[in-house]
Amino acid sequence: MLKKIVRIGILLVLVASFMFTSAGSQAVKALASYPSANVWIMNIPWDGTTAIDGWDFSQSTSETDYIDPSMTVGAYKSYLQGKLGYPVDVLFDTYAQGGNVATVPSDSALMGDYLCVYGLNHYHIYVFKAEQKSSENLRLTLFGYINDNSKSCVLWSLDGSRPVNVDSKCGGGSELVCKVKLVGKNLNYDCDGNHDWLGEQIVNDPKWLEWADKFASMNGNK
């Protein structure tokens, strides 16, 4: 009887070992199926130039990442902001011009649009600290998202940093299409493509202005 119990125990251990090994192999395989990326964390603000050869890399660090080409640039920037703890500017080197000129993408673009053209399976990404504009009395920023079923969702930030809880609040795959700023006592919108309707809907609704003004005032942005 004891020998039988021992045999059953050994069998269960072998089965469990096979299951975990198989699951781990599948996870590694799934990760490796995404294109790899050289990600340069520059740790400085972007100076506005796209000539990579003239950038200061002395404070930068580099890492390798794997990226889903179907992800939007805005979603990737949100991921980086959550990881680094500050808003970022992201530029790509597509090697289309000899590998020395970076491309500035829109947040609505797909990451797959910026794969390096020579290999079609790799990225070179440069991540800068996004500077906060101090010349305007910016009291609050509203971020307008559209999700897969075309419904809109609005999140907010007092310091201009993009929200990191988009998926939990607006649904997975939500795409940032509008920024609406409360400057002084006015809401000003800046939207991508054909999504101006969302910005207009927000700035022309007196309830949004009333709420934004009250919320900013309550939180120290008078």
**pLDDT score of 128 more than 70:** yes
In a domain, 209, yes or no: yes
Query: Which residue among 109, 129, 149 closes a domain?
Result: 129
Do 89 and 151 lie in one domain? The reply is no
Q: Is 118:95 a contact under the CB 8 Å cutoff? A: yes
Categorize the per-residue pLDDT at 118 as very low, low, confident or very high, splitting at 50, 70 and 90.
low
In a domain, 174, yes or no: yes
Per-residue confidence (pLDDT) for residue 54, from 0 to 100: 85
Do 124 and 54 lie in one domain? The reply is yes
Of 104 and 4, the structure prediction assigns the larger pLDDT to 104
Residues 37-79: pLDDT tens digits?
889 999 999 888 888 888 999 999 999 988 898 989 888 988 9
Do 154 and 194 lie in one domain? The reply is yes
**pLDDT score of 133 more than 70:** no
Categorize the per-residue pLDDT at 135 as very low, low, confident or very high, splitting at 50, 70 and 90.
low
What domain range includes position 187? 138-218
In a domain, 54, yes or no: yes
* Spatial separation of the C-alpha atoms in residues 215 and 166, rounded to whole Å: 20
Backbone angles phi, psi at 163, to 5 degrees: -60, 145
Residues 17-30: pLDDT tens digits?
444 344 333 333 34
In a domain, 171, yes or no: yes
Per-residue confidence (pLDDT) for residue 138, from 0 to 100: 85
Residues 150-206: pLDDT tens digits?
789 999 988 888 887 888 888 888 889 999 999 988 999 989 878 899 999 999 999
**Cβ within 8 Å of residue 164, ≥6 positions away:** 78, 81, 82
Q: Is 174:167 a contact under the CB 8 Å cutoff? A: yes
Residue 77: count of CB within 10 angstroms of its CB:
20
Categorize the per-residue pLDDT at 207 as very low, low, confident or very high, splitting at 50, 70 and 90.
very high
In a domain, 21, yes or no: no
**Residue of 211, 111, 89, 90 lying closest to 160 (CA atoms):** 89
- Domain of 85: which CATH number? 3.10.20.90
- The one-letter amino acid code at 4 reads K
Number of domains in the chain: 2
Do 195 and 149 lie in one domain? The reply is yes
* Spatial separation of the C-alpha atoms in residues 165 and 78, rounded to whole Å: 9
Per-residue confidence (pLDDT) for residue 182, from 0 to 100: 92
Per-residue confidence (pLDDT) for residue 13, from 0 to 100: 40
Per-residue confidence (pLDDT) for residue 98, from 0 to 100: 53
pTM assigned to the model = 0.48
In a domain, 211, yes or no: yes
**CA atoms within 13 A of residue 216's CA, in its CB half-sphere:** 26
Categorize the per-residue pLDDT at 127 as very low, low, confident or very high, splitting at 50, 70 and 90.
very high
Q: Is 187:209 a contact under the CB 8 Å cutoff? A: yes
Per-residue confidence (pLDDT) for residue 15, from 0 to 100: 41
Do 77 and 99 lie in one domain? The reply is yes
Do 50 and 113 lie in one domain? The reply is yes
* Spatial separation of the C-alpha atoms in residues 201 and 170, rounded to whole Å: 18
Categorize the per-residue pLDDT at 10 as very low, low, confident or very high, splitting at 50, 70 and 90.
very low
In a domain, 29, yes or no: no
Do 60 and 123 lie in one domain? The reply is yes
Query: Which residue among 129, 164, 180 closes a domain?
Result: 129
DSSP secondary structure, 184-218, as one string: TTEEEEEE-TT-HHHHHHHHT-HHHHHHHHHHHHH
In a domain, 82, yes or no: yes
